[in-house]
Amino acid sequence: MSLHMGSTENALKELERQRSREMWKAALGAFLIMAFIYVVIPVILIIYFGDLKNP
């Protein structure tokens, strides 16, 4: 019985570990997307308006 309880506990811990890993992946992905947007949009605007200013 105690062995079964232990394996169940380990399985729950492993599930928790996987869930936290997935959360980290999602958070990192969201952060990278936000960073990409914050970097790329100003660069595109600068290039676009730079071309307008200096034809």
Task: Output the pLDDT for position 32.
Answer: 96
Core vs surface per residue 16-26: b (16+ CB within 10 A) or e? eeeeeeeeeee
Which residues are within 8 A (CB) of 53 and not within 5 positions of it... i.e. 6 or more apart?
none
pLDDT band at 7 (very low <50, low <70, confident <90, very high): confident
The pTM of the whole model exceeds 0.75: no
pLDDT given at position 8: 86
Distance CA 17, CA 39 (A): 32
pLDDT at 5: 62
